Amino acid sequence: MENKVLSYFGFAAKARKLVTGYNTCIYMMEKRRIRLLILTEDLSENSVKKMVSAAEKHRVPCKIFGSREQLSQITGNVDKGIYGITDDNFAKVISDGIDHIQSVK
């Protein structure tokens, strides 16, 4: 199942439905374009706090999943830990997949 979620990340990146980085994701949340915010498990505690509070403020669902190395390799972005999905369908499929993976663990 994890491979399926990672492949959807790759599809979202190729379809340009994925934005990365702190400032870009904050900006896109303010513009109400992000449908799902993904934070990597190895992101610093301070960054997680800031992004989770921003996501709550803008009512964007937020998930913690994967490592920087893993998601960077799949999406082609170097050393990024914050990802925003801008498409409803990708957001739903990825969110459901992450929920399924985390419920099994």
Q: What's at 62, amino acid-wise?
A: C
Q: Quick one: tokens of 101?
A: 């993976």
Write down the pTM of the prediction: 0.93
pLDDT tens-digit readout, 80-101: 999 999 999 999 999 999 999 9
Query: What is residue 30's three-state secondary structure?
Result: helix
CA dihedral sign, ordered 63, 9, 100, 91: positive
Judge contact between 71 and 18, C-beta under 8 A.
Answer: no
- Cα–Cα distance between 63 and 60 in angstroms, integer? 10
Token pair of 50 as six digits? 């800031």
pLDDT band, very low/low/confident/very high, at 1 (cuts 50, 70, 90): confident
Fold category of 2-104 in CATH: 60s Ribosomal Protein L30; Chain: A; (3.30.1330)
